[in-house]
Structure formats: structure tokens, C-alpha cells
Structure 1
């Protein structure tokens, strides 16, 4: 059940499911309950549950299989070529690199002291 702690409901649900996965009560290969079942279990909306499961997907703890459900991944298996887990990790690295480069550009622009001239006031 989602509690009124000030922490977003989807984060509470993700935390609980993550603890179950890491604690072994949701073993690798085990399907998560359906979105509707999780919504009922946590007394939350479907969108909140979907956001929680999305976090676990991004972390590589679960993987969705179209038409079959969402399953706990095996942490000992390395992502195969073309696996979405590997693609997500690669995308994160690219985004991190771009963030660093953008910060440098913004810093250079902020310290740039090129005054605008040639404008006259009438």
C-alpha cells in the first residue's frame, strides 16, 4: 500500500518491488503481477504502477515481453547484443557525455564578455 510519506507513490512501489527482487521473493524469470493486480495490491492508479515498473525496466531489473508480461531479469546474465538493457546503458553513457559537454559550452558562454556594439539608441 502506498503511504502518505511525501515520497511519490510510484517510487514507493518501485522500492518495494526492487526489494522483493533483490531479496529473492521475486526470482529471475518470475513474472510480475499484472498492472491491474499491482494497482489493486498497492491501492494505486494504473499510471502510477506503470511508472514504477518503468523505473525497474530502466534499471534492468525487469523486462517486458509483448503479449506475455513483465519478467524479473537474471542479474548474472550480461545483456546480449541488441538487448534493450545494453541499449539503455549505452544511451545513458551518451546522455552523460552530452551533459558534460553542454555544461562546458554553457560555462564558456556565461564567462564570455563579448559586448554587443554597433547599436545606437535614438
Structure 2
């Protein structure tokens, strides 16, 4: 199930599937579960699952075969472990940016609250 962590659901799903590929739970050549199965497993819509699949396809971890399904690439486990440090660094930077944006949003909300209360008093 996708959790409310601030990280988009499709990235959480991509992270989970990437981990399964890296650890061998999804072996090279293995078929990924169907979109419907992944929707049910993670309790999300098909568009969220498709976005996650797109991320993994872009990373070169999976390949689609028309009419057959989506499969783990033969060299995917090596690719996943090679990209891990850069991926973690980027995710850490994104988390920091999200926290900064959340803080800024709170500050703006407080300023708007103050400004709009003052404008009501001056009327």
C-alpha cells in the first residue's frame, strides 16, 4: 500500500519494485505482476502504476513486450545496484526540497492569515 509520506505514490511503487529487482525477488526475465494486480496490491489507480512502470522502464530495469507483459531485464539487478547511490542522493535532495517547500507554505499561510485579518479589521 502506498503511504502518505510526501513522496508521490508512483515513486513509492517504483522504489518497491526496484528493491524487489535488486534483491532478486523479481528475477531477471521474470514478468512483473499485471497492472490490475499492482493496482490491487498498492491500492492505487492504473495511472499511478503505469507511471511507476514508466520510471523503471526509463531506468532500463524492465522491458515491455507487446501483448505479453512487462519483464525484468536480464542485467537489471546490476543496473539497479549501480544506480543506487545516485538515486539515494537525489531522493535525499528531493526530500529536503519538499521539507523546505512545506515550511515556506506554512509561513505563507501564516502571513496571509495575518494580512487578511488586518484587512477585515480596517474595514
* TM-score, normalised by the number of residues in structure 2: 0.61
Please give the secondary structure, in 2, of the residue aligned with 1:20: helix
CA deviations over 1:15-37 (Å, ceiling 9, x no partner): 00000000000000100000010
Distance in 2 separating the partners of 1:57 and 1:22: 15
Asked if residue 12 in structure 1 is aligned to residue 12 in structure 2, the reply is yes
Distance in 1 separating the partners of 2:59 and 2:7: 19
May I ask how many residue pairs the two structures share in their alignment? 76
Superposed CA RMSD: 0.9
Distance in 1 separating the partners of 2:24 and 2:52: 19
The residue aligned with 1:67 is: 67
Please give the secondary structure, in 2, of the residue aligned with 1:3: coil
Residue 74 of structure 1 and its aligned partner are, at CA, apart by 1.1
The residue aligned with 1:40 is: 40
- The answer for unaligned runs of 5 or more in structure 1 is 77-122
- The answer for unaligned runs of 5 or more in structure 2 is 77-123
**For residues 90-109 of structure 1, what are the structure 2 equivalents within 5 Å?**
none
Instruction: Answer 1 or 2: which has greater helix percent.
Output: 2
CA deviations over 1:51-85 (Å, ceiling 9, x no partner): 00000000010000000000000117xxxxxxxxx
Distance in 1 separating the partners of 2:59 and 2:36: 22
Please give the secondary structure, in 2, of the residue aligned with 1:2: coil
| Higher relative contact order (Cα pairs below 8 Å, separated by 6+ residues) | 2
Asked if residue 28 in structure 1 is aligned to residue 28 in structure 2, the reply is yes
The residue aligned with 2:91 is: none
